[in-house]
Amino acid sequence: MTATTSSSRNSTGPIELAFEPIVGAYLEHVREPQLSRWAFAPFDAMTAITTGWVDYLTRAVERRATPLDLAHDALEWWQAVHTKVEPTWSTPFRVEREWATARLLDFSDADTAMVPTVILPPQAGHASTIVDYTQTQSQVRTALQNGLDRLYVLEWKGATEETKDTTIEDYITILDDTAAALGGKINLVGDCQGGWLAAIYAALRPGVVNSLAIGAAPIDFHAGYSAIRDWTEAFRATGELAAYRGMVALGGGVYRGQNQVTGFKMLEPAGQVQRQMDLWAHIDDPDFVQRYRDFVTWFEWDQDMAGTFYLWVVEHLFMNNELVKGTLRVAGETVDLGKITVPLYLLAGTNDHITPPEQVWALVEHANTPAQDVHSRLLEAGHLGLFMGRQALREHWGPIFGDIRTISRVEPRKTAAPKTEDEPAATPAKRTTTAAKPKATRKAAPAKRKATPAKRTAAATTTSRATSEPKAATSKVATAKAEEKVTKPRATKRSTAAVKPPAKAATPKPTTAQAEPKDTAPKTTTGQAAKRSTVASTPPAKAADTPVADTPKSTDTPD
């Protein structure tokens, strides 16, 4: 297993001032229990307000702001804080398939012979656009830039009266339909809630999934410290699912997305004040203001969830932790994570108070993927920063997608075989030298026009023979090339089979990429384990190596 860690601090230059739009990633008490965070909330809020005003006034003096400038700043701050618009996708796509609860979006920029990749966004009260956050912070664009030409995203729709009874089986069916539509084999990339769904599907359909990558995805819901676990245990004391059923009942069978947004804010009670005061301090910085608007657009726009599905998740995963216990059943079948043997890519953040690293690493312990095919990455980031942070995309998701591309090569499909007229093929020329001599007089002229390419590509294979019998060899090659040009549409399928051996030899380029340059970066261990139990211990060990108290605040963390 390979493990990589990364820090947001730049030891060779100044720290980049950035907006870190992550609930709970700002303050000193991110890893403390909820009671502690609420106890410190007034102090944290006052600190944020004081610091925000001091920073604003300092910058105002430096830029010699006038009273009119101050009024303009106040108006812009108010509009940025209170404007609410629907988030949109930043990358062009087309709708491949559509269901009542989801859409399959096609972002592919080529039709290559490659196993397609499907991204499963989080489904937790927000829009799926987090995976295509902005043009400069996009998991989708990062995947395309790193060679995943066949790329799709399952966009989750908000629940309605008609879809409020959607079940986990319905989502598995959607994934089945998706895999079938894309050729029967897919790479799965799951973020947060999309991660455990991807893991469940990989366990149920091991023959369909080519590789599995998860970011900030809980597998063992009771491992490590999680702020959500505090709330789950608190509600549990009131009567198991009573509180959750009550919220669904109030929504008429739908779990309101606004409940989820409010819940995230309550996980870090002073976080909202901190974000708004950061905005006020940098209101004269157009880039900072735009980044704030981008975040508010996504974070404040809530999306309802099907009540039946929501209650199933709370009971079987968050409360009973059945996924790692081996007791989870879906459509009458037990979900056995041990059936997962494909390459694994895991990403976790040191500042993630929603899904601590231990919950992510649990997949290594329960899956049966060989140690050399398990790649774990730990970086200084909060929850959302693992999906859309610049550092996470550039230094971690980029190499991960590059690896997935390497293991996703398949034999060229017949539809990709046709060649242009000015693209000579050496191997077909060799194959047709033994063909019959049909109507040579009629094809002689085309052969002469293509004589130069034929000589260039076939020189290495015909030199010795041309020396002993120049006229005969030239005649046979010309005849063969002439026949290939005239009968090109029918020869395409035959030439495809002939091309395969050279194409196989051309694969060293992807093989070279498999050297995994990113895994030669600072590693968490000096030796690799052969068994799951040892492998699983590596990432948590690294998590412990990073003192929580020393983690930088938002201004030290690239977005």
Indicate whether 249 and 387 sit together in one domain. Answer: yes
pLDDT of residue 32: 64
Low-confidence ranges of the chain (pLDDT < 70): 1-34, 235-239, 411-559
Indicate whether 476 and 327 sit together in one domain. Answer: no
Indicate whether 119 and 220 sit together in one domain. Answer: yes
Indicate whether 547 and 458 sit together in one domain. Answer: no
In a domain? residue 274: no
In a domain? residue 366: yes
SS3 state of residue 207: coil
pLDDT of residue 4: 62
Distance of alpha carbon 221 from alpha carbon 321, whole angstroms: 6
Stated pTM of the model: 0.69
pLDDT of residue 265: 84
In a domain? residue 18: no
Q: What is the pLDDT of residues 512-525, one digit of tens each?
A: 333 343 443 334 33
Select from 495, 482, 477, 480 the least CA-distant residue to 418: 495
pLDDT of residue 84: 85
Distance of alpha carbon 509 from alpha carbon 405, whole angstroms: 12
pLDDT of residue 162: 95
In a domain? residue 434: yes
Domain count, the chain: 2
Burial readout 170-195 (b: 16 or more C-beta within 10 A, e: otherwise): bbbebbeebbeebeeebbbbbbbbbb
Measured on CA atoms in the order 96, 211, 312, 251, is the torsion positive or negative?
A: negative
pLDDT of residue 241: 83
Indicate whether 458 and 368 sit together in one domain. Answer: no
In a domain? residue 3: no
pLDDT of residue 153: 98
Q: What is the pLDDT of residues 128-169, one digit of tens each?
A: 999 999 999 999 999 999 999 999 999 999 999 999 999 999
In a domain? residue 6: no
Output the domain CATH number for residue 395: 3.40.50.1820
Domain of 374 in residue numbering reads as 100-254+303-339+352-409+516-556
Indicate whether 484 and 391 sit together in one domain. Answer: no
Indicate whether 521 and 482 sit together in one domain. Answer: no
Distance of alpha carbon 204 from alpha carbon 223, whole angstroms: 23
Indicate whether 327 and 239 sit together in one domain. Answer: yes
Indicate whether 177 and 311 sit together in one domain. Answer: yes
Indicate whether 180 and 199 sit together in one domain. Answer: yes
- Other CB atoms within 10 A of residue 137 CB: 22
Distance of alpha carbon 407 from alpha carbon 470, whole angstroms: 46
pLDDT of residue 236: 66
Bridging pattern class, strands 186-191 and 344-349: unpaired
Indicate whether 124 and 187 sit together in one domain. Answer: yes
Indicate whether 326 and 207 sit together in one domain. Answer: yes
Select from 398, 230, 406 the least CA-distant residue to 318: 230
- How does the average pLDDT of the chain come out, rounded? 76
Select from 415, 395, 228 the least CA-distant residue to 314: 228
In a domain? residue 362: yes
Distance of alpha carbon 198 from alpha carbon 214, whole angstroms: 8
Q: What is the pLDDT of residues 174-188, one digit of tens each?
A: 999 999 999 999 999
Distance of alpha carbon 211 from alpha carbon 408, whole angstroms: 9
pLDDT of residue 5: 54
In a domain? residue 49: no
Contacts with 310 (C-beta within 8 Å, 6 or more apart), sequence order: 244, 248, 255
